[in-house]
Structure 1
Amino acid sequence: MNDKFSLLKRMRRLSGILVHPTSLPGKFGIGDLGSEAYRFVDFLQESGQHLWQTLPLGPTGGHNSPYQCFSSFAGQPLLISPELLKDEGLLTDADLSNIPHFSDEEVDFAAVGEYKEELFQKAFARFKELPEDDPLKSELALFCKSAHWLDDYAMFMAIKKSKGGAHWLEWEKKYRKPTKSQKAVIEREFEDEILYEKFLQWTFCRQWSQLKAYANERDILLIGDIPIFVSGDSADVWAEPRLFQVDSDGFPTVVAGVPPDYFSATGQLWGNPLYDWKYHKKTNYEWWMERFKTQFLLSDIVRIDHFRGLESYWEIPADSETALNGKWVDGPKDEFFEVLIKTFGEEPPIIAEDLGIITDDVRALRDKFGLPGMKILQFAFEDEDSNYLPYNQPYNCVCYTGTHDNDTTTGWYATASEKARDKVRRYMNTDASQVSWDFIRTCFGSPARFAIIPVQDLFCQGSDCRMNTPGKADGNWAYRMKKELLTSDVAKRLYDVTKLYGR
């Protein structure tokens, strides 16, 4: 793995696009790992890009946030392509003949989930009918042996579905805190359901690995995302409560969030359970190293979301209604990254998400291990000499026009102060009639090693197309791009800008 970990040292001035696979076009109501994903990789190649950044790829919960998943290790089953299942003989043309009418502009997660579940159950039934010596069955058996997290996750999901999706803290005690002997009983009770969950994870991993190989063969690297915290309603907390600050029943005693910042005057109360870092230290951060190991199989570069939480984090009492009543507590700091380097080798390909309230200590931790931070152009124009302005950006950083948490650039400009808009026009020497492309040019022309743009900015889309509004509980994560937007003209325009600025 060490060869892979010299990537960041070797790579120079690359650019790419931020888009989650769920946002891709496709006829099944949600972007998936089928033909449109391969078409998007072809678009990246045609437009001269070498980076595809996604959000976390895990199975999402009630609000569909990829930052609140049922597992830190598992994949999102909704990304599984029915077309590819058909190619393998696990679905038929008849199975795919009555596709419901889905919006091509936003994901209806509930409707898509219901439709795809029926298809996946059909594929699973055909899989079980295969001869025992079929190569597919051998592959699944090997996957089950190699994925250390799979047994707990599959059992967790089997129980959860039997309880109508209820939070695990609401289950009966024999399911909520099963002993070893009770787990054996549960395995027999849910034998078929557990195998089904394993089948889904194996299918996801196979399809993702094939897509990643296709991208890598075309000199396109995938940037994955590790949320620093995990959902309280997850197989992680259910199976390993000692990793977290929870009471004897599994309820968190303190939770994660951030104090007031750019996004919210009352801060953000995320509600995730916080880690018991003393216990993690005793295990030499084994759970975390396994998490990175899994992520490095899925992606070439990993962004650590809320990197600053590894230096210090905002601890909020679990009964608080806002994030105001919190305090800063030390994280694992240097020791964490020293173990990471001992485990994986020097210069791991990691991007530090260092936005928000960043102190000198956080910057020192980032710089000590040579991790590139993030610079957001939308943040650059309110202050006179912002650190986000290109002439203040160091080489070892990633420049973004915006991220999934920001408004689109067109939407941002429409609501920005006149002071900021005036500075944009003067700085970029533009009338701002296509301001997102002005931002793309400026981003690509910056000193930053990597330049990445959300896909919405390619199409000059407005605020109605943003991916997420922090602090807003519902209506996020549903954005989809229409198939007809990925044209050769757009690819040519992006290619020209890319080459003009030496990316």
Structure 2
Amino acid sequence: MSFTRASGLLAHITSLPSNYGIGDLGPAAYRFVDFLHAAEQTLWQVLPLGLTSYGDSPYQSFSTFAGNHYLISPELLMAQGLLSQDDIPAHDFDPMRVDYGNIIPWKMAVLRTAFANYRQNPPAALKKEFTAFCKANAWLDDFALFVACKFHFIEARRNDYETPEYQAYYQRLNTRLSENQIKDYYYGAVWNSWPDALARREKSALAQYRKTLADEIAFYQFLQFIFFQQWQLLKSYANERQIKLIGDIPIFVSLDSADVWSNRELFALDEAGDPIEVAGVPPDYFSTTGQLWGNPLYRWPAHKDSGFTWWIERVAATLQTTDILRIDHFRAFAAYWAVPFGEATAVNGQWKKSPGKDLFAAIESALGKNLPIIAEDLGIITDDVTALRLKLKLPGMKVLQFAFEADASSDHLPHNYPDSHTVVYTGTHDNDTTVGWYTATSDKNRDYFRRYMNSSGSEAHWDLIRLAWASNALFAIAPVQDVIGAASDARMNTPGVAAGNWQYRFSPDALSTQHAERLAYLGQLFARHGSL
């Protein structure tokens, strides 16, 4: 990347304030851009924007191409005339946490009303733009059919109890999954539990469900159109203020996704559509039993035979919606941790090689060299991972919270950065907040922190922000929680813990003029205020 020194904040859209229980692409997003502009910050990093699935994680979505329609702003729909105030149902949401179980049905009711209003009297210009959007996005038909089918079967099975179809599914999986997991899969209508002809995408079955679910398919196509319309307006607003958006894609995709259903040949599945092996990482800093993500692994020879077309399209689509792309778990492009499907933890896995060099050669051939990509190279990093990243000239990542868990030789300490080709974070979405980390870490680590920083530790979060901004790293980024000085209850995600994640929100008055002035001062002091 040819960008100059810069800094910014990490804040996912769901964390923004709003009146409707979840952050969205409406007025608060524009106010956040205004805050970044006032603070002379030129980077805004978000998490993956895909439609979240089971567990509400942005790293497990129904599509790597589609946007999350739960982030659509009701205020902007009202400004377009697609909703009126009378169309907004009564609600009483927690302003500080995202309660997905209550928000999703409420939001879907609002979105269905907006679609009904559109259909009743579609504005000519909007209808033309919608038609053009559908034609321009080849992934949209399969995605809309996938989601329509999924929720069709969820509803159809709502009052069923252990039907012959369920029993057959149970017998197929009972040696590899628990009964509760099998029920989650079946009653959550994972695609490999659908009627066999549809799961295998036989033409007659696809035609049948496209006809039966035509209205639902049109609804989900409309939501994608509105999401990307609102997103591009926000992106343009940020770019006009010299702020670049950093997007994020997970290296793996969810089994329960349009990507896997539409491209079975590209994934390591058996004849029934069940994974042969699944993704994760071995025991590490976050967990003594590793992290078992459960994503199906790639059938890399099939990707290579196709010229890596699916990957090229995936990267291209994300770079159309963001300015810079962070690829999560970059190390799996050199080798990935493969765990037999059905294992209870990630302990019994093994490393397997990936064709990372061939993949990125194909991406560069199609999209150009020096792409604006950040490689998330945290965790167990071997020489081959580093060699691949350096060959591709991609900046890696450093996390300052990790720097004080060792000694002066830690490669996360700025004095050990070999060059400026890196992105430094105070912490990421997977870390505790800095205040929470400093409170919970050992006396030894706190002592080293205070001596290294020449600080009392009373404002550990600002100490780390200053250290990041002062470093020679290309980019310096802090989660919004660290600017605010939030404690552990504001943590976004705890790896290896299934519940209670991705819920953090900050209040409308959490970011003040004083915060903006303090960030601007550090940007000026350490030459991070230049335009990108």
**Structure 2 equivalent of residue 429 of structure 1:** 454
173-182 vs 55-64, which deviates more?
A: 173-182
**Structure 2 equivalent of residue 290 of structure 1:** 313
For 2:230 and 2:342, the matched residues in 1 are separated by 42
Q: 1:225 aligns with which of 237, 245, 248?
A: 248
For 2:507 and 2:355, the matched residues in 1 are separated by 44
**Structure 2 equivalent of residue 389 of structure 1:** 413
Instruction: Give the drift of 1:280.
Output: 0.1
Q: Which amino acid aligns with 1:211?
A: L
Q: 1:25 aligns with which of 17, 39, 61?
A: 17
For 2:18 and 2:292, the matched residues in 1 are separated by 35
Identical residues among aligned pairs (%): 52
Alignment partner of 1:137 is 2:130: no
Alignment partner of 1:90 is 2:82: yes
For 1:362 and 1:482, the matched residues in 2 are separated by 40
**Structure 1 equivalent of residue 52 of structure 2:** 60
**Structure 2 equivalent of residue 126 of structure 1:** 117
Alignment partner of 1:101 is 2:125: no
Per-residue deviation, residues 311-367 of structure 1 (Å, max 9, x unmatched): 110111112111111111110121111111111111000000000000011000000
For 2:229 and 2:355, the matched residues in 1 are separated by 34
Instruction: Give the drift of 1:181.
Output: 2.1
Partner SS, residue 41 of structure 2: coil
- TM-score scaled to structure 1, two decimals? 0.97
175-184 vs 140-149, which deviates more?
A: 175-184
**Structure 2 equivalent of residue 238 of structure 1:** 261
Q: 1:214 aligns with which of 231, 234, 237?
A: 237
For 2:416 and 2:92, the matched residues in 1 are separated by 49
Name stretches of at least 5 consecutive residues in structure 2 with no aligned partner: 155-187
Instruction: Give the drift of 1:495.
Output: 1.1
Task: Give the total of aligned pairs.
Answer: 493
Partner SS, residue 481 of structure 1: coil
Partner SS, residue 226 of structure 1: strand
Per-residue deviation, residues 47-79 of structure 1 (Å, max 9, x unmatched): 010000000000011200000001111000110
Name stretches of at least 5 consecutive residues in structure 1 with no aligned partner: 1-7
Alignment partner of 1:474 is 2:474: no
Q: Which amino acid aligns with 1:395?
A: S
Per-residue deviation, residues 125-177 of structure 1 (Å, max 9, x unmatched): 1111225x711111111111111111111000001111224222222223322
For 1:488 and 1:410, the matched residues in 2 are separated by 21
**Structure 1 equivalent of residue 176 of structure 2:** none
171-180 vs 300-309, which deviates more?
A: 171-180
**Structure 2 equivalent of residue 5 of structure 1:** none
Instruction: Give the drift of 1:45.
Output: 0.3
Per-residue deviation, residues 364-415 of structure 1 (Å, max 9, x unmatched): 0000111000000001112221000011122000000000000000000111
Query: How do 1:305-320 residues align onto structure 2 when only pairs under 5 Å count?
Result: 305-320=328-343
Query: How do 1:6-405 residues align onto structure 2 when only pairs under 5 Å count?
Result: 8-9=1-2, 11-96=3-88, 98-131=89-122, 134-164=124-154, 165-384=188-407, 385-393=409-417, 394-405=419-430
Q: Over aligned residue pairs, what C-alpha RMSD do you find?
A: 1.0
The answer as to whether partners of 1:58 and 1:75 remain within 8 angstroms in 2 is: yes
Instruction: Give the drift of 1:434.
Output: 1.1
For 2:244 and 2:90, the matched residues in 1 are separated by 33
Q: Which amino acid aligns with 2:523?
A: T
Per-residue deviation, residues 421-456 of structure 1 (Å, max 9, x unmatched): 111101111101111001100110011000000000
Instruction: Give the drift of 1:203.
Output: 0.4
Partner SS, residue 249 of structure 1: coil
Alignment partner of 1:485 is 2:477: no
Q: 1:457 aligns with which of 462, 472, 482?
A: 482
For 1:382 and 1:258, the matched residues in 2 are separated by 20
Instruction: Give the drift of 1:40.
Output: 0.3
Instruction: Give the drift of 1:34.
Output: 0.3
The answer as to whether partners of 1:104 and 1:480 remain within 8 angstroms in 2 is: yes
Per-residue deviation, residues 455-495 of structure 1 (Å, max 9, x unmatched): 00011111111000000001000000011112111111111
The answer as to whether partners of 1:159 and 1:175 remain within 8 angstroms in 2 is: no
